[in-house]
């Protein structure tokens, strides 16, 4: 019973149902991101590489015939991640043009040298293959000290075009009043995160109401494409670099 509860709570962190509003302090960000991933997911097909795969929370939303998870080799990652392959953080251990599609979800901000990272993605992806990339725009520092950057939509466009990609779609999630509710919840979470009991109670008793309020106000107030939580980009490789 305990294991099932833990599995349920872990699933609510990345793929939340309506119940997630009571247990996930990042409910607004995760549901907004998930919506865009679902909409673009049918472009991720064939042999797929998930760079920084974590626990592969979105694999079921892609039409992949083969799904390979890649993570950096560390003692912690080897224990908690669900990667199929580990690497040194620099060179992907695959031959050129191995994959039909690549996913990189909330990883680029943790990469100190994006040029090397995107060059490797280009190298292992076939010409004409798709890259689905998500990266935060407005968010707190996280996974410290390995949080190095924030990217605007214009910065991402420049980076991708410099590395042989053409942007097909650029979606901006949380581009309404939900951004303020989510940042307030993130602020509260950082204050209480060291105490698990208080964190759970705060999420259930306070943050859930902030999330619901954010959802309701987002339906009344206008959107703002200049202020948002995440960029979600679908790009196509058009040339080698």
Domain of residue 218: give its range: 177-222
Confidence at residue 103, expressed as pLDDT on a 0 to 100 scale? 98
Q: Are residues 96 and 142 in the same domain?
A: yes
pLDDT tens digits, 180-232: 999 999 999 998 877 778 888 899 999 999 999 999 999 999 999 999 999 99
Q: Are residues 141 and 233 in the same domain?
A: yes
Beta strands 165-173 and 230-237: pairing type?
antiparallel
The kind and range of the H/E element at 64 are: strand 63-72
Domain-embedded: residue 95: yes
Confidence at residue 76, expressed as pLDDT on a 0 to 100 scale? 59
* 132, 101 Cβ separation under 8 angstroms: yes
Q: Mean pLDDT per segment of 10 residues, for the chain of length 241 residues? A: 72 89 95 96 97 94 97 70 91 97 97 96 98 97 94 97 98 97 95 81 93 97 97 98 91
Confidence at residue 13, expressed as pLDDT on a 0 to 100 scale? 85
Q: Are residues 233 and 215 in the same domain?
A: no
Q: Are residues 148 and 38 in the same domain?
A: yes
* 98, 47 Cβ separation under 8 angstroms: yes
Q: How far apart are CA 69 and CA 23, in angstroms?
A: 27
pLDDT tens digits, 188-200: 999 887 777 888 8
Q: Are residues 85 and 66 in the same domain?
A: yes
The pTM is what? 0.92
Q: In this structure, what are the phi and psi dihedrals at residue 13, rounded to the nearest 5 degrees?
A: -75, -35
Q: Are residues 241 and 163 in the same domain?
A: yes
pLDDT tens digits, 117-132: 999 999 999 999 999 9
Which residues are within 8 A (CB) of 137 and not within 5 positions of it... i.e. 6 or more apart? 150, 151, 152, 153, 172, 228, 229, 230, 231
- Residue 235 is part of a domain; what is its CATH number? 3.40.50.150
Q: Are residues 215 and 132 in the same domain?
A: no
Q: How far apart are CA 168 and CA 239, in angstroms?
A: 15
Q: Are residues 140 and 201 in the same domain?
A: no
Domain-embedded: residue 152: yes
Domain-embedded: residue 129: yes
Domain-embedded: residue 5: no
Q: Are residues 86 and 182 in the same domain?
A: no
Q: Are residues 40 and 113 in the same domain?
A: yes
Q: How far apart are CA 219 and CA 121, in angstroms?
A: 38
Q: Are residues 151 and 241 in the same domain?
A: yes
**Counted domains in the chain:** 2
Q: Are residues 62 and 87 in the same domain?
A: yes
Confidence at residue 210, expressed as pLDDT on a 0 to 100 scale? 97
Domain-embedded: residue 40: yes
């Amino acid at each position: 019973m305990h294991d099932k509860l833990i599995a349920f709570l872990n699933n609510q962190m990345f793929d939340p149902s309506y119940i997630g509003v009571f247990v996930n302090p990042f409910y607004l960000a995760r549901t907004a991101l998930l919506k865009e991933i679902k909409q673009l997911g049918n472009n991720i097909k064939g042999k797929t590489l998930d760079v920084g795969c974590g626990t592969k929370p979105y694999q079921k939303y892609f039409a992949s015939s083969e799904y390979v998870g890649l993570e950096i080799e560390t003692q912690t990652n080897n224990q908690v991640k669900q990667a199929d392959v580990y690497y040194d953080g620099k060179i992907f251990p695959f031959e050129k043009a191995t994959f039909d599609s690549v996913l990189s979800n909330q990883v680029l901000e943790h990469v100190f040298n994006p040029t090397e990272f995107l060059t490797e993605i280009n190298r292992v992806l076939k010409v004409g293959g798709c890259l689905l990339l998500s990266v935060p725009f407005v968010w707190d520092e996280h996974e410290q000290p390995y949080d190095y950057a924030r990217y605007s939509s214009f910065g991402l466009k420049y980076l991708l075009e410099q590395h042989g990609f053409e942007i097909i779609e650029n979606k901006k999630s949380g581009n309404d009043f939900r951004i303020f509710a989510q940042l307030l919840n993130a602020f509260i979470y950082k204050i209480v995160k060291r105490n698990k009991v208080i964190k759970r109670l705060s999420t259930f008793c306070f943050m859930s109401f902030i999330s619901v309020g954010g959802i309701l106000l987002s339906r009344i107030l206008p959107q703002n494409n200049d202020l948002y939580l995440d960029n979600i980009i679908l790009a196509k490789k058009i040339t080698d670099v």
